[in-house]
Amino acid sequence: MSNINTSINICGVEMKNPVTTASGTFGSGREYGEFVDLNRLGAVTVKGVAAHPWKGNNSPRIAETYGGMLNSVGLQNPGADYFMENDIPFLRQFDTKIIVNICGHSIEEYCEVAEKLSDADIDLFELNISCPNVSEGGIAFGTQPVMVEKVVSEVKKYTKRPLIVKLSPNVTDITEIARAAVSGGADALSLINTLMGMRIDIHRRKPVLANKIGGFSGPAVKPVAVRMVYQVSKAVDVPIIGMGGISNGDDAIEFIMAGATGVAVGTANFANPFATIEVVEGIENYMRKYGIKDLSEIRGIID
Amino acid sequence: MKSVSIAEIIKNENISENIYDMLISVPEIAKEAKAGQFINVYTGKGECLLPRPISICGIDEKKGTIRMVFQVVGKGTELFSALKAGDTVKVLGPLGNGYDISEECTNNVLIGGGIGVPPLLELAKRLKGKKQVFIGARTNPILVKEFKALGADVYVATDDGSEGFKGNAVELVRKINPDVDAIYSCGPKIMLKAVADWAEEKGIKAQVSMEERMACGIGACVGCAVKIKKEGESDWSNLKVCKDGPVFLSNEVVWNE
């Protein structure tokens, strides 16, 4: 253990290891904190927080697919006030960084939640302009470079902590969106959010999800995510948190080699409540096996 | 810290069309479980990623066993149906809140529809007082003898009239019009709504066990939302079937969707 260094630095925030959670799959850590020691995670990225409570979409919100799943939760959350009162004190009991994912229906709402949280005891913001499950905001902001730059630069006025911008894979050229986010002031990028997908129940002749369309995630999306992290890492100079189908340490190493500094575990938590810790341990095992002392030795090594 | 258990299968029998009766050895769950709770059963196959939430039909704390009676509805439950005695399966639980058992109630009415019947069996074991059990099915009602063996009055309804009353379980309840001071139910949503209507007429808050598609089963993913309007609150909110339920009060569920 002593001769390997798993720590990373994202915009001045030191994480003991690169592993965090994908927003929306881990709540604010309470539920999975009963299975894993949150002190062992580099950071916890919480479920999207809006300025005011959101009710989310109708059920069914979940559909399994081959090697993955669809969700159309629609960012149900109890709002920033509840989050600050309940979840930040909970997470601060642990030696892990707090990344707060923020969401809105409009630029004003994004700015409002960023302002509300600007003095909160958190480490990093993650701006969610890529959720496919809300009709206004979300992905509507994340798929047009002009809008991406605008929303990022506006929100940036209110964030006193480094700002990660989470990108949607539902675009023709991810590097164009990444560049727009960086020119808007993004300090780091995270990708990928879910891919838009659909499932139809052929017996009932209806979509499985009440929302018809949802976000596709899980092991099945990993090659798409690795490709996009690779492309973005070649296009911009900010740190990247890679995610999309990471279930074990080997998956995480793939993202790091593609150019990611951090890695997030999402859908794998549902299939295995210990997934986060297994990813941490898997990265350490890989490093020992190949005599890697620091992750910088393998980060972005693919030409 | 909680953990996922490796349970050994003691038996797994096909008891009716597409319905399996599985007994597993898992003392740590049997020790804690209550009637109306469920467990997550993992397929162990990457293509069937998500755990399957399956209701608990029987709890034997002494023997350390949990009984599940489940229906094959997709690939995951199909995998479970092929498991044999001696095989192992990963399970997590007990999950959710079970039924609240009121000691004062003397006239208990239990209404189950389809694969909603099994959790009522463990409940019937634990209820004191008179038990009147209404079992509805499309064609083959399940667990009838076992409810009778517990001393319950059992009434059967089938959609096709092949057994007992022709019609649904709640129509049969209305026809029998039993004395009642507590109502417990589990089954399809349309049946639970009919139970809620009957309960309201009787001035009783029925305990209804809801079902929804789930991912995590522990309250993290917020996938299994059900609209609940708590007494005294001005608006409904989406609660989680897995964590806040699966048992809710019938007067608090927002039924009209």
pLDDT value for B227? 97
- Say which DSSP state A220 is in: G
- In a domain, residue A210? The reply is no
Does the distance separating the beta carbons of A35 and B215 come in below 8 Å?
no
A116 is in which domain, residue-wise? 8-61+74-195+218-297
Cα A193 to Cα A23, A135, A196, A217, distances in angstroms? 9, 16, 9, 8
Shortest Cα–Cα distance, A264 to chain B (Å): 15
- What number of other Cβ atoms are within 10 A of residue A206's Cβ? 11
Q: How far is CA A56 from CA A50, A148, B237, B245, in A?
A: 12, 23, 9, 18
**Residue whose tokens read 């409904």:** B236
A31 neighbourhood in chain B, CB within 8 Å: 216, 218-220, 243
Instruction: Give the CA dihedral A282, A284, A286, A290, nearest 10 degrees.
Output: -170
Q: What is the pLDDT of residue A137?
A: 63
Nearest to A238 by CA among A157, A178, A299: A178
Q: Which residues of A touch B215 (CB under 8 A)?
A: 62, 69, 71, 267, 270
Residue A94, pLDDT above cutoff 90: yes
Q: Does A11 participate in catalysis according to the annotation?
A: no
| Residue A251: CATH number of its domain | 3.20.20.70
The pLDDT of A14-32, averaged and rounded, is 97
pLDDT value of position B256: 79
Distance in angstroms (rounded) separating the CA atoms of residues B6 and A226: 33
Would you state the pLDDT for residue A135?
64
- Band of the pLDDT at A138, cuts 50, 70, 90? low
Neighbours of B63 (CB within 10 A): 12
Domain-embedded: residue A213: no
Q: Write the pLDDT tens digit of every residue in B88-131.
A: 999 999 999 999 998 887 899 999 999 999 999 999 999 999 99
**Residue B112 near residue B186, CB atoms below 8 Å:** yes
**Backbone φ and ψ of B37, nearest 5°:** -85, 175
Contacts of A57 in chain B (CB under 8 A): 225
Q: Is A13 left (phi over 0), alpha (psi -120 to 50) or beta?
A: beta
What part of A 209-238 touches B (C-beta under 8 Å)?
218-219
Nearest to B134 by CA among B103, B108, B160: B108
For the cut 60, the answer to whether the pLDDT of residue A2 exceeds it is no
In a domain, A209, yes or no: no
Mean pLDDT (chain B, rounded): 95
pLDDT at A1 over 60: no
Residue at A200 is within a domain: no
Residue B152 and residue B131: Cα distance in Å, rounded?
5
Q: Within 10 A of A281 (CB to CB), how many other CB atoms are there? A: 16
Give the pLDDT of residue A24: 97
Segment B178-231, tens digit of pLDDT: 999 999 999 999 999 999 999 999 999 999 999 999 999 999 999 999 999 998
**Cα(A36)–Cα(A259) distance, integer angstroms:** 27
In the prediction, which pLDDT does A72 show?
Answer: 96
- The identity of residue A70, as a single letter, is L
Residue A108 lies in a domain: yes
pTM: 0.95
| Nearest C-alpha in A relative to B43 | A271
With H, G, I as helix, E, B as strand and everything else as coil, classify residue A162. Answer: coil
- Could you report the per-residue pLDDT of A180-206, keeping only the tens digit for each? 999 999 999 999 999 999 999 999 999
Q: What is the ipTM of this complex?
A: 0.93
Decide if pLDDT at A55 tops 70: yes
What distances in angstroms separate CA A267 from CA A131, B29, B81, B151, B207, one per listed residue? 15, 25, 26, 46, 32
Asked if B215 reaches chain A (Cβ–Cβ under 8 Å), the answer is yes
Contact, A206 vs A215, CB < 8 A? no
* A208 inside domain: no
- Which chain A residues contact residue B76 at CB under 8 A? 64
For the segment B133-185, what is each residue's pLDDT rounded down to a tens digit?
Answer: 999 999 999 999 999 999 999 999 999 999 999 999 999 999 999 999 999 99
Query: What is the mean pLDDT of the segment spanning A248-257?
Result: 98
Residue A86 domain-assigned? yes
B-interface mutation test, from A31, A54, A203, most B Cβ less than 10 A away: A31
Distance from CA of B123 to the nearest CA of A (A): 27
> In angstroms, what separates the C-alpha of B241 from chain A's closest C-alpha?
11
Contact A62 B215 (CB under 8 A): yes
Buried b (16+ CB within 10 A) or exposed e, A6-22: bebebbebebbbbbbbb
Domains in chain B (CATH in brackets) are: 5-95 (2.40.30.10), 107-208 (3.40.50.80), 210-257 (2.10.240.10)
Give the phi and the psi of residue A38 in degrees, each rounded to 5.
Answer: -60, -20
Contacts of B253 in chain A (CB under 8 A): none
What is the phi-psi region of residue B171: left when phi exceeds 0, alpha when psi lies from -120 to 50, beta otherwise?
A: alpha
- On whether residue A222 sits in a domain, the answer given is yes
Number of domains in chain A: 1
**B79 Cβ under 8 Å from any chain A Cβ:** no
Pairing of β B107-113 and β B182-186: parallel
Any CB–CB contact under 8 A between B225 and chain A?
yes
Residue to test with chain B: of A35, A58, A62, A247, most B Cβ within 10 A: A62
**In the structure encoding, which two tokens stand for residue B69, read together?**
């009676």
d(CA B114, CA B103): 27
pLDDT band at B257 (very low <50, low <70, confident <90, very high): low
In tens, the pLDDT along A273-290 reads 999 999 999 999 999 999
